[in-house]
Chains A and B, each alone.
Chain A
């Protein structure tokens, strides 16, 4: 059994006497550093948390990027009714036309194919040397099929266009769906990190009596809360680098504004969502309770704040509320910075909304917070 006597190098404590041999702690042994390290360790040792924070948004961006990629102009399928010499001649004339895929079928099969959308148009000889088109005029494919078919037929018949035209094809970076959705995912990620990151960890610590144990030591309470904000700060940098970097590498998503502005907008948003997380966790005692509150807070913002589609799609009457949500403001500012290269002036209104959330949530949370 090791010796339990007091350390002989330490002066016995006596009131009114300052011991000259106070053991100073090295900087890394100080409580703010240790508390922040705990946050890192707990996060990195939770593989699920790492996945949801870093891998998930990239996978989501990949999936959305593939689903909504800008495809080369589609080939339009049309049917030609066969069985007559005029019909077979029509197949021969249209067979080589650009942008069309021609199938010959009998009358009833062609009608069925048109009905089911398998072909966009049915062409058939009208019996007097002309051609009849059957198609749905309200469908865009129907109309383009009509123009493509007609153009091919008229040219084959020897039409000459009086005006010479040439074409230049463009695909503007920054206006694709993937460009739209990446700032949305970044905003969503910052929200999740703040609300889940603080909410779960704090309620878990309260439920396990760990908060009470901590406040029974000389630990400064402000440092405990600050450790969450510090760790959020470091993870935020990682999150931005990983998500924006992956989007730039894989999809060429641009960052037109300044990186500093992108970081400041993200940081202020992260702090505001941290405040919201703290507020949600300020009194809850059970994981079920806090999960419910977190979902109640985040669900409306996932839908309304313009992560996947523009928040302006919602009715005008709801806009004042929607635009005042912290995630809407955050995503608007991120999008303006990344896609439009907007400056500080342009993102300032959004930034002020986020700061207002930050101040109000922290003020309320610190007042309501239950340590025991």
Chain B
């Protein structure tokens, strides 16, 4: 199967779910093509986990339709479970069992699937085969969880925050695994609140906030929608209040938008080579000195900030 052909792997329409007064999912629509790696990106509490658990048939929605691999949960639960691989956000596997025993247990649930040895090999836990789960590091535990999710040879894989809480090296290791799984033609739906993860892994990303999709597209499209290629951040520590205004800064050559948060200015710019000299001369014209200056290429994080006015990590 190649991405983008055939029936969608997942189709969600008008999804709603509340817990008491709290609306977790508020009219969410999604379509994930077969063979696609699709990311739900959003801050904690945006409704990502509720959404993915509804798709996994673990939570009953208040309203809306969910179609997984062309089937629905009410009529085809058993056959669907055979075809899905699921990694929950926080599962502690039994600590007294070894890696091999754990994978064997999960393999035993599926009518058919992959060989236990192969799967342990794939997630690079060969050396830990006989080790107790309780003795594994965080990254190894996540890889074991991934092994349990793929041992049934699923057509569609749900990964809920697969790298949250891991060190950078373990995260990169998991990313490599997910990239390879995607290359093998499986459809993947993952949630994350790391923009770099979504950019690196996902063919398409839905940015979710307050229970609905606020932007949808490939990472490249979403970043391009900013209309800016770079982001410049600077501080002017001795500037009196009101000395700088967003309106004035937006007039500068190459600057598309300007925002201030806690004394820190953020400019979305099109031409970095034009905007930085313009900024420096504007500051010296006003007799202000520059504190810090940093620039980076625009990211999904900037897209989120520009859409919501909040940072992903502290939203």
Question: Which A positions have Cβ atoms within 8 angstroms of B?
Answer: 1-2, 4-7, 10, 13, 15, 19, 22-23, 25, 29-31, 33-35, 37-38, 41-42, 45-46, 205, 208-210, 212-219, 372
Contacts and interface: CB of A to CB of B under 8 A. Distances in A.
Given A4-B183, A23-B113, 20 more contacts: A2-B118, A4-B122, A6-B184, A7-B114, A13-B83, A34-B104, A38-B101, A38-B105, A41-B96, A42-B94, A42-B97, A208-B92, A209-B91, A212-B91, A213-B91, A214-B109, A217-B110, A218-B81, A218-B109, A218-B152
A2 B78 contact: no
A210 B94 contact: yes
B90 interface: yes
Contacts of A34: 104-105, 108
13 contacts: A1-B180, A4-B183, A23-B113, A42-B94, A46-B96, A209-B92, A210-B93, A212-B58, A213-B86, A213-B88, A217-B81, A217-B110, A219-B109
Interface in B243-265: none
Main SS of chain A's interface residues? loop
Contact of B90 (A45, A209, A215): A209
Contacts of A25: 107-108
Contacts of B121: 2
A216 B58 contact: yes
B86 to A, nearest CB: 4
Contacts of B109: 31, 214, 217-219
B108 A30 contact: yes
A162 to B, nearest CB: 77
B114 A41 contact: no
A344 B73 CA distance: 50
B175 interface: no
A47 to B, nearest CB: 11
Interface in B112-129: 112-115, 118, 121-122
Give the interface centre of A6, A46, A218 by most chain B CB atoms within 10 Å.
Answer: A218
Interface of B: 56-58, 70, 78, 81-84, 86, 88, 90-94, 96-97, 101, 104-115, 118, 121-122, 148, 152-153, 155, 176-177, 180-181, 183-185
Contacts of A33: 108
A10 B152 CA distance: 12
A41 B115 CA distance: 22
Given A22-B112, A23-B112, A34-B104, A218 B78 contact: yes
Contacts of B88: 209, 212-213, 216
A213 B155 CA distance: 18
B108 A29 contact: yes
Nearest to B80: A218
Nearest to B57: A216
A1 B123 CA distance: 9
Given A23-B113, A25-B108, A216 B183 contact: no
B64 to A, nearest CB: 20
B106 A210 contact: no
Contacts of B118: 2, 7
A41 B91 contact: no
A19 B86 CA distance: 24
B183 to A, nearest CB: 7
A76 B104 CA distance: 70
B104 A6 contact: no
3 tightest A-B CB contacts, nearest first:
A208-B92, A34-B108, A218-B81
Given A31-B108, A213-B91, A45 B96 contact: yes
Nearest to B83: A13
